[in-house]
Structure 1
Amino acid sequence: MMWASRWCLLPVLWVALVWPTAACSAQAIDLSRLQYSESITQYLQLLRDEGATEQLSSAMQRTEWENINVSVLQEGYREGAFWLRGQLRNDSPVPVTRWLAMGSARLQEVQLHLSEPLTTGVPGAGLRWQPPQFAGTKYTSARREVQGRTALFALTLAAGEQRTMVLRVAGSSVIELGVALWEPAVFREEEGRELAIQAFVIGIALVLVTYALIQGVEWRDRGSVLMAVWICSALLFILSFQGYLYLYLLPGGGSWLVRLPVTLGCLTTLLHLRMSYVLVSLDQLPRWERRWKRIYDVMSVVLIVVTTWIAAGDFRATAPVANAIAATCYLMWAASMLHGWRHGLDNARLLAISFGLAWSAMWLKMLELNGLIAHGILPDWQFATLFQLGLLGVASTMVVGRALQLHHKFEQMQWSVLSLRVREQFKLEQEVNHRTSELRAALEVADQARHSKNGFFTSISHDLRTPLTSILGFADMLQAAGGEQGRYGRIIVRSARHMLSMINDLIDYAHGDRMDLSQPRPLYVHGLLQTIGQEGAALARRQHNAFSLEVSPALPPVLRIDAPRLRRLLGNLLDNAAKYTREGSIRLEVGWQAAAVRSGMGVMEMRVSDTGSGIPLHYQASVFEPFERAGADRTQPGLGMGLALVRQWIQQMDGQIALHSQPGQGTVLTLQLPVAMADEQDIARDDCREDSNTHPLIDGTGRRLLVVEDSPDIADLLVEQLEMLAFEVERYADGETAIARITQTDKPAPALVLTDYLLPAAKGGEVLRATRQHLPGVPVLLLSATLRPPTDRPDDLAFDACLLKPVNFMELQETLARLLGLPLPQLGAALAGTVAAVGTVAAVPAASEAAEDTAGPRPLPPQESLQQARVLIDSGAVSDLLDWCDALLQQHPQCAGFQSRVGQLLREGDLFAVEALVNAALDQQRGPGSEDVS
């Protein structure tokens, strides 16, 4: 039994003897002998923990520890954990500190277990462990004792001290086990050199990115933009691959940092494929354009799916698949580049050579990381730096080459555009020359037409003056007759002068003057409205219609308005109303709406209403259109332009027009016209009277008249005309001085007082009262600017007569004759007076000729020329008479005075005076007693 118990103790003794031997089978590493850096992987032992379930104590007791014979152990994507152990000692007499660094920056979880110093001579006996140190992308950088882009630990051993070191490496990333010891200062120096190189490379890359972006935006080149984005993506991939993103930008760590390099790698591959397709223009390959497009589209879709799978799925399962797909895509890319190179596509050869070498090196690195080939010659950062420099060199070449290519294309386009422009310019010059010749011919035709038009308008307008001159002459005869005939004569004169002003406008239009510009002038608006009312009454009587004019008392006496245009506006409306109203009534109402206080503006509202047939509703929308007669009776004259012209004119005067009509009941047209108020002092002297050629009808010899008028122009005009009628005139500028004169008994009493109503100091009503009180029986004549003088007075204080401004001196003479009992000539006498007046006109030049005869006789035209003028006068050919004047001046320059007088009378339209002047010249040439053979 005793021997049996001894045999049972043998396995225990063997384990006790073997375990310390296994624990110390690895050679102890002397930290004091290290000067710079040294790889210690080959001095360590490795234990593979397939399930990653072992703890430190259980792992130390395992017997599967094996020696490592390489400097870097590549395990690829493996599950489980890896344990590394080794012995550290310090044989120097002073403490020594060294840094332990893991070669890969992508390790997810690294733990360092360091034992307490060995107290016995047997390593591993009675080990006690210090708290573990952590590193890797799983942990935040704050948990590290030493900061670095890779897993980094500080090891400090006292003099003669020996310790056991155990590393545990686990995670989903590629397992690359490379352990090295560094002297701290040397490590930092090497790290600084590496950072300087990286900064240089990144600076160049950013310059390239900026240039490529500017080039892409300016030239609208999609390939340059894709190249800039691809360079940025490649930089991010390399920085994440080397651990710089974790160190400087993402120090918080996390499991997603393991996915980031592969995700960015797939994205970079996708961008590289799209960039290559655009730069090489694979769509231009004959018979292969659709195939390569389809292949590249499939690869792009697959890479997008794989990138999404890596970012969200099982990384350890998807990463090898992603690497395989990326490798396949690069193989297809290489085949497409070779195909494009063979067919001579731009950039295909450069991309195939440069990127082919770079991606071959990358494939070798990927095989190395996956543990399929042995460890390479260069470390990660050196390989990455060389790879970056290679890519940047290729990218620089591509950017410059692309710029040159685009510049060459741009030059070709410029030359093409320039050539096309030259051809188009030549063609355009030919077309311009052709069109210029056509336009020149058309201009000549238009110029001839313009001259013909001007000649036509001039001839027709002068010929129209002839009957108007006759009308004015006989209307003057009617005015001279007084009474009802005189009133009719005044109406005829006003209408004829209105027609004469339209003829003058026609001449101005023929000369190129604008007729659409409003020309407002201060005038007596009540007098204008009375004239329009008289014309409207005449129009209304044509079809037995009643006419009424109603003017608001609020309407100012003087307004700044375009009188000819307003007269035409209301004339058109009244003419339309008279056409379509039979045995009814027509009314013209004028109101006033004052604007803001002190603005001097207001709105003149004119309403023309009739009881005619009205306008159907469906025609009212188009009634203001040209040539639209709104279903009117076609037997009525007109072209349908009246209302169209009214709307055009009222809009040009900034006014408005409104229509309200009901069939069978009549039509109401309302005009609203903004106008400015004016003062009587603003009215020009020539606008103060209606007629300019008034013949005296009465004789006021021995009669004194008092004229009370505050307007100097009107007062001067009245005094001038009254003195021409042989009246004695006393003039007063205000009512107070006039009243003072009336109350003076020592001065001769006047025969009549002629007064305005709105006077300074005292109004016309007070002048009337003073006259009735101190000069009973003396008539008082009111010269007013409004239609309605004050009527709120008793009969004994009513004015004897009232005349509207502007002054019509024929009407004034008739009124003075009635009030003073002066005789007026009968119609025959008036006719004789008119003829005498014509003779007077002819006598004026005769008198002047007599005056000139004292200095020398005036030459007269030959008798044949005067006879020719008589024929033209009898036919009323005014334009031919003007031509006769021009010919007379050319043939007989000595007759310039006679020609000038005849031309002046023709321009005034006075054929009577011209006839008298020609007859006087003929009589003078024939001598006394000769007969008129004409």
Structure 2
Amino acid sequence: MNRPPYRHASYFPSTDSSQVGMDEMNLKLGMRRLIWLLLSLCLGYLATPASAAPAAVSCVPGIVPVLPLTQLLEDPSRALDFNEVAVLGDERFFGADTQAPSLAFTHSAIWLRFRLENGASAEVCRRWLTVGEPRLENLQVYLQREGRWETMRASSDHPLEQWAIAERQPRFLLEVEPGESIQVLVRVVSRSWMAINPRIWDGPALLEALSHSQLLDGLTLGVMLLVLPIGLVIALLTRFPLLLMNSLLLLFYFAVVVVVNGYLFYWPALLPWSREIVALLSACTFVTFLSYCFVLLRVRLLGAWLRPVFILYTLCGALILSWGAVGDFVWTRNLFILFRNMAYVLIPLAFAIALYRRVRLGWLAWFVSGLMLVQGVIEFTGHVENDVWLFGEDRLGLSSALFLAFLLICTLISGVVHARQRERKALDELTFLQQAENERLESQVQLRTRQLSDSLQARSALLARISHDLRTPLGSIIHYARELKQGPVAEQPERIERNARQQLELLDDLLEFSRSELQQIELSLQPGYLFGFLREIEEEGRYLAVRQHNRLQCVLADGLPVLVNADFRQLRRILINLLNNAAKYTRDGLILLKVESLPCPSGLFRLRFIVQDNGVGVPQDFREQLAKPFQRGSNTLTTKGFGLGLSIVSELLGQMGSELHVAENPQGGSIFSFELELESASEDEMEQFFLESHVVPTDGAERRIVLVDDVELTRTFLGDLLGGYGFDVQLASGGDEALDCLAAGPVDLLITDQIMPGMDGWALLREVRRCWPELPVLLYSASPARPGAGQQGLTFDGALLKPATTEELLARIERLCSESTLSPTS
């Protein structure tokens, strides 16, 4: 109520007593009115509630915190609309400075009411309103202008096209005309953390804050992109579980931070699922962190009761967090805030038990346990708040992931130190093992000496075996020598040499072991190329077949392994004996050698070898006597032989854990088969990538060869071989690197493997045919050339199976280089 200004009587001069008396009366009346006015003001102040309407927010430059000037209202039913809230009296609201809100996670709707006025400026006041964290799910702002309301929306519950401003941090534009005052209502509904801190920004202040935030987030993101991939790659290469868990922990936590800070804005389809994604990623983070502590503190050594407690706590926490994705997120989050405090007790407790049991822990375990202990003390003794509303939930700023990045670096350092210690320990153990191996070799020599002495007692049986096993290679040598008389053949010397080497191997075997020791022979498993081995068997079997005018057909099934660990010497004896037996009792027929792959547990290959003929067959009553030496069927008495081949095969298969099966061929003849389980091998374990043989001098000067193979040992050995003959060899580990070498200058020959990661040999051949169509390409592979889908029209200029002889390899290279007339250009 406006009152006229009070004027004291002594301020006005007077000349008569009546005037003076009148002034005294007015003075008394004025004093009485002043007393009543003061009393009314005091009573009015006492009667006014503490939630009286605060002062309006003024349009001033910079940043204006709105919360101290804001009226707050909690709507548990979430049924009030802005029209109802706008007309509520001040007694229904409370101020943040008079009544601290008790909200962390809530189903209620929170209303904020304040006025924004522009009374001191002659220009339109343009300000930006931010309500709180980007994780708030439903923001609605209502502005009252001239009796009508304007509505603006933002956050994940609304489609992106309905947002007032399409930005990661929701904000709203407020415009106030000079002398105007507008009422602002803000409605917040969020089952995520209720992080409300409304602020009014002018343009420069908002731009500065955004620049600072983006700079900090960019630096954090750069650190994550540098540290996280390095940690994952090193963990996978070194198989260091602690580093892998720490890397996964950083990955999951950083993903949670990214989602919480609103970065799903750049993937609008996932915005409605923000809360569910946070729940699942939080569960993964919790499980990974507890698993990291489980390994770091070596809980498996700390007693039978602590392990299930640790595991049960981890599973319960993961279940609580995961339930937030399908159940009540508010309930699960409030429960987890209390549940996670147990970790501040469990982890230091495990560390204390480890010290009590004298379990050796690294410095990293001390660091993590001490950190958890300090954080637990702070959590239980007093909570330090650094924001307006902070209710037991982590801030989860993007930079908070930097600590886990630092922890990852510490884990990496710890792993390097641990690896060095293990290396020193391994060297000590190696020295001990070498001494033990020397002793074992001495005892083995003594054992072999006794066995050799005992083997002399079975000389007659041994001579019989020698005569049988030497017949086939000796017959081959005689056959090839006769062919040489008719005219030189390029492959005959090599075949004669190979058969002679087989004789030496048989002599080594048969002279070392007696008949009684054959049952105790130790198999010599070595890695080898399966297809190269089968190629040699096919060549020998073809010679055995043509002596009786037979044909040999070799069928190799798909899915055969390229390299296996096997005793190829004994396996050769088995297959040659079976093929020799089939060729001996078949005339003008077909002999079939089949190799099939059968299902087998991981890491092993089960192969079935089948030798089929259409000869005289094996009588049914004689099949049980096949394993006995010097036994022959009644239908084979007119054929030369001693009846030792199948007995040798049966004994060798028995030592390999297999057996020989005999069946009748429906077209006549017999089917012999057996199965072997072989381990897969790696080309890194190979000792021979080519076979040394006598070759004529080769001059590779001024000839450039690009050699492509994904195995480093293969590239090195072949590169050294070709470099020794004067070739200019460039090594490439993959197809892309080979194409770069081809584009760098003229090339005379490209040698490539077939199966390689990334770009395989066929894809490389396709690119070469497209860019350098006249460049010869030689396939040097462990398996036959098998084009894939869409590659049927491509062919290599030459193909060799590993391991080829140096004579064959250099001859093929010499021929292809002499045919090369192309100087590649891009």
What is the TM-score when the length of structure 1 is the normalising length? 0.43
- More helix by percentage: 1
Q: Max radius of gyration: which structure?
A: 1
| TM-score normalised by length of structure 2 | 0.48
